[in-house]
Amino acid sequence: MEEGQLCSPLNPNGNDRTRENFSPSSLTTTCSRSFWAESKAIWSIAGAAIVSRIATSGLTVITQAFVGHIGDLELAAFSLVVGLIVGFDSGILIGMGNALGTLCGQAFGANKHHMLGIYLQRSWLVLMGFAVLLLPLFLFTTPILRFLGQSKDVAQLSGRVALWCIPFHFSFPFYFAIQRYLISQRKNIIIAWSAAVGTIVSVLLNWLFVLKWNMGIDGALASLDIGWWIPAIIQFLYVTCGGCPLTWTGFSREAFYELWPFIKLSFASGVMLCLEIWYYRILVLMTGQIKNTEVIVNSLTICLNINDWELSIPLGFLVATSVRVANQLGARNPRGAKFSILVSTVYSSLVGIMILVLLLVFRGHLGYLFTNSTAVQEAVAKLAILLACTIILNSVQPVLIGVAVGLGKQYLVAYVNIICYYFIGLPFGLILGFVFHLSIMGIWVGMICGTAIQTIVLIFITWRTNWEKEVIQINHQVTTMSSIESFPEE
């Protein structure tokens, strides 16, 4: 990447001016202006995505905190269902929603605004269909966990918890799709506010149902269901009642056309993210083969939920990177796409380092937030070191995945995930955990190695990307898809 290109990314036709006025001071000024302009664009998207994910992840973490003070058995059952069943389920549906972000971002950058509403409706159809297909995971949670080696008491209570999770499972297709649709056109405020409202209501209901009315784990799960549906309903009403007049023209039968290409991209996106999320969920699965299961399950899932909450920040930059890359490539500006990647990486890394320091300083106190068990608190403090290593890797990796999403190459990341995670990281972890008897810490160390290798591979792929070629391919695709639709251009 040339110096002049780096410093004028937002104006693809600005090369002549840069060359005419080239001097150290003018170059510095141009770089500074470009950096802050791109920073504003990145943070406007990432900020809303971060608030939304923190709020929705907070729904689970807050509910887990209330459940943890009911009893260790209840906490173990809730942790297993959220960590395994809901984690697998939401991973697929969030990933499939990313396909909508790719298409909407590229179309919006190319000023094909009328296509976004059609894409949104197609995404609802595809995601709802997959949500129905995933329903058996919730209906047969108890036999699934028993088959995987969990104790009878934990598995039976987990089956009851899973049934309570079905209502908010069906909020995912609406919530994840609408969020990507809104973010692609920079309508960020409604996303943040609706998520915040859902979280506040859930906290109040947890306090009322669990602490005041003593409804136990049923009350906690009811509040979780309501907390998830509130932002989904708010955003749906915003879109369909006039909040997006440029891109939403009403329900249309056009949404039923060209579904197969949409399903393929959505499925590739779902597999990509599910492989990512499921990788660390395997840690929870392995606890069924280790002694002192309840303590290990509780401490590990507390760490993973903290990781999920922290991951809200780099995932916010994933969304911002994917949107900015898609917008810039749709607008035929490859230099702008490369500059967006640089800015996102800088901010995500800085935030990751700050959180790493805070985590190491306060690692001895993390367990107190979730449980009264001294054994679990001590186990959390030990695992916090590995959690810190995971967090620092996660500060860069999601941005690189966002590049692939912006390009529409989710399938490529899926292949990389399979090789680095399941053929390298996981076997190495199992060797350390069971052959060298390092237990759950050995498994986690091996899996961290897999993540490190994956990050290196993604850096290489991003560096070797031919951006000018990608611009040509993406704009040809957008033009072709636009010509299929029967709606006139806005």
CA–CA gap between residue 205 and residue 484 (Å, rounded): 48
**pLDDT for res 483:** 55
With 0-12 CB in 10 A as exposed, 13-18 as middle and 19+ as buried, what is 143? exposed
pLDDT digits (tens, 9 = 90+) for 350-381: 988 998 888 888 887 777 777 778 888 888 88
pLDDT digits (tens, 9 = 90+) for 118-152: 899 999 999 999 999 999 999 999 998 888 777 78
**pLDDT for res 305:** 73
* Mean pLDDT (whole number) for 338-343: 91
Evaluate if residue 65 carries a pLDDT over 90: no
* Mean pLDDT (whole number) for 147-173: 88
- Is there a contact between 223 and 449 (Cβ–Cβ < 8 Å)? no
Of residues 273, 286, 279, 278, the one with CA closest to residue 448: 279
Evaluate if residue 179 carries a pLDDT over 70: yes
Of the candidate ranges 29-33, 155-159, 305-309, 484-488, the one whose mean pLDDT is the lowest? 484-488
pLDDT digits (tens, 9 = 90+) for 374-405: 888 888 888 888 888 888 888 888 899 999 88
Question: pLDDT averaged over the chain?
Answer: 82
Distances (CA, A) of 49 to 23, 99, 130, 214, 422: 38, 16, 24, 34, 29
**pLDDT for res 13:** 45
pLDDT digits (tens, 9 = 90+) for 241-298: 988 888 898 888 887 877 888 888 888 888 887 787 778 767 766 765 666 666 777 7
**pLDDT for res 238:** 94
Evaluate if residue 3 carries a pLDDT over 50: no
CA–CA gap between residue 57 and residue 142 (Å, rounded): 24
- Is there a contact between 366 and 307 (Cβ–Cβ < 8 Å)? no
* Mean pLDDT (whole number) for 200-215: 88
- Is there a contact between 320 and 46 (Cβ–Cβ < 8 Å)? yes
Evaluate if residue 484 carries a pLDDT over 70: no
Evaluate if residue 22 carries a pLDDT over 70: no
Evaluate if residue 6 carries a pLDDT over 50: no
**pLDDT for res 32:** 77
- Categorize the per-residue pLDDT at 5 as very low, low, confident or very high, splitting at 50, 70 and 90: very low
Q: Is the Cα torsion angle 242, 247, 249, 250 positive or negative in sign? A: negative
Angle at which helices 334-361 and 374-394 cross, to 10°: 160
**pLDDT for res 242:** 87
Q: Domain limits of the chain?
A: 47-484
**pLDDT for res 1:** 39
- Categorize the per-residue pLDDT at 64 as very low, low, confident or very high, splitting at 50, 70 and 90: confident
* Mean pLDDT (whole number) for 94-110: 83
Comparing 84 with 485, the larger pLDDT belongs to 84
**pLDDT for res 456:** 94
pLDDT digits (tens, 9 = 90+) for 295-326: 777 787 788 778 877 887 888 898 889 989 98
Q: Is the Cα torsion angle 176, 177, 178, 182 positive or negative in sign? A: positive
pTM for this one?
0.76
Comparing 459 with 286, the larger pLDDT belongs to 459
pLDDT digits (tens, 9 = 90+) for 417-457: 999 999 999 999 989 988 888 888 888 899 899 999 999 99
- Categorize the per-residue pLDDT at 163 as very low, low, confident or very high, splitting at 50, 70 and 90: very high
Comparing 478 with 49, the larger pLDDT belongs to 49
Comparing 411 with 13, the larger pLDDT belongs to 411
Distances (CA, A) of 446 to 108, 310, 384, 441: 41, 21, 16, 9
Of residues 182, 173, 199, the one with CA closest to residue 51: 199
Evaluate if residue 485 carries a pLDDT over 80: no
